[in-house]
Amino acid sequence: MKIWSTEHVFSYPWETVIKAAMRKYPNPMNPNVVGVDVLDRGLDEKGRLHSHRLLSTEWGLPGIVRAILGTSHTQTYVKEHSIVDPEEKKMELCSTNITLTNLISVDERLLYRPHPDNPDVTVLTQEAIITVKGVSLSSYLEGMMARRMSANARKGWDAIEWIIQNSERENVPLCDIY
Amino acid sequence: MNSVGEACTDLKREYDQCFNRWFAEKFLKGDRSGDPCTETFRKYQRCVQKAIKEKDIPIDGVEFMGPNKDNST
């Protein structure tokens, strides 16, 4: 079992980051996500928005890893539950793979909140528990997955920034003078 | 972005546009006045559920909340 966690600060207010996070895919940094669907969505009694989504992803694992894991499948499905609390300014996402579960489980949690010391910026806390099952070299493979997640996390942050900047460009008025 | 069910992609895009507008302009601004996307979502959801069955994706066990469901626990 490998536990991985990281923290990142976006220099944008929480609402801006959340709107981008809701529209994260597609983006050029995460080409591995090839399909996203909303399975269900609704408000709870506290006014928080719950969304259940299904993502299909291409692992892009090297051939040798696929050989070790004994699978030729490259597409996996992930289910994600997110909760947006507009009063507390919290957006939490929890995801887990629902295929290849006999081989590996990756449970990930993301939390977006305004920075406690600066309400104009947003902190993303991201953590994952990775377990490779029933295979020798499991801790080696777990380490490799953690490194891949680190690399993907960086791409994820770039993706959010890209979405924000591309939306901002659409909203720039014609004759704004700085 | 495509849907997991190829035939559902257009319905997905229509719903996403509606939702993103509601999310940014109403929900995040504290406006709780009704959800304009219910009908679009219903059509889209029907298509996705069909695709999930056809592709045999193991997604049972999702607690469907829905805006009109009674969630007394």
> In this predicted model, which residue has the larger pLDDT, B67 or A136?
A136
Say what the pLDDT of residue B28 is: 93
**Counting every residue, how long is chain B?**
73
- C-alpha span between A62 and A127 (Å, rounded): 24
Q: Which amino acid, residue B29?
A: K
Sequence ranges of the domains in chain A:
2-166
Q: Is A2 helix (H, G, I), strand (E, B) or coil?
A: strand
B62 vs A: CB within 8 A = yes
Question: Residue range A30-43: average pLDDT?
Answer: 90
Say what the pLDDT of residue A135 is: 65
Q: Do B49 and B34 contact (CB within 8 A), yes or no?
A: no
In a domain, B63, yes or no: no
- C-alpha span between A137 and A155 (Å, rounded): 27
Asked if B67's CB is within 8 angstroms of A26's CB, the reply is no
Give the CA distances from residue A87 to residues A14, A83, A84, A102, A111, in Å, rounded to whole numbers and listed in that order.
12, 12, 9, 39, 15
Interface test with A, best of B15, B20, B28 (most A CBs within 10 A): B28
Say what the pLDDT of residue A36 is: 93
Say what the pLDDT of residue A40 is: 93
User: Chain B contacts of A36, Cβ < 8 Å?
Assistant: 1, 3-4
- Element (DSSP H or E) covering residue A126: strand A118-132
User: Chain B contacts of A79, Cβ < 8 Å?
Assistant: 59, 62
Among A40, A44, A99, beta carbon nearest to B58: A99
User: Chain B contacts of A50, Cβ < 8 Å?
Assistant: 65
Q: Indicate whether A164 pLDDT > 80.
A: yes
Say what the pLDDT of residue B63 is: 47
C-alpha A151 chain-centroid distance: 12
In a domain, B40, yes or no: yes
CB-CB neighbours of A122 under 10 Å: 25
Token pair of A97 as six digits: 């793979």
Number of domains comprising chain B: 1
Q: Indicate whether A78 pLDDT > 60.
A: yes
Asked if A99's CB is within 8 angstroms of B57's CB, the reply is yes
In a domain, B2, yes or no: no
Domain limits for position B38: 11-55
Site of tokens 């601004």: B29
Say what the pLDDT of residue A94 is: 95
Site of tokens 């499905």: A77
User: Chain B contacts of A56, Cβ < 8 Å?
Assistant: 4
Say what the pLDDT of residue A126 is: 93
Say what the pLDDT of residue A63 is: 67
In a domain, B65, yes or no: no
User: Chain A contacts of B27, Cβ < 8 Å?
Assistant: 49, 84, 86
Say what the pLDDT of residue A50 is: 96
**pLDDT tens per residue, chain B (73 residues)?**
888 888 999 999 999 999 999 999 999 999 887 789 999 999 999 999 999 988 888 887 544 444 433 333 3
In a domain, B64, yes or no: no
Q: Indicate whether A62 pLDDT > 80.
A: no
Rg (CA), chain A: 18
Q: Indicate whether A131 pLDDT > 90.
A: no
Say what the pLDDT of residue A121 is: 96
Q: Do B16 and B40 contact (CB within 8 A), yes or no?
A: no
Asked if A84's CB is within 8 angstroms of B57's CB, the reply is no
Among A33, A40, A99, beta carbon nearest to B64: A40
Pick the CATH number of A2-166 from 3.90.1010.10, 3.30.530.20, 2.40.50.100, 3.30.70.920: 3.30.530.20
Say what the pLDDT of residue A89 is: 96
CB-neighbour burial class of residue A57 (10 A; exposed 0-12, middle 13-18, buried 19+):
buried
Asked if B62's CB is within 8 angstroms of A39's CB, the reply is yes
Buried b (16+ CB within 10 A) or exposed e, A153-164: bebbbebbbbbb
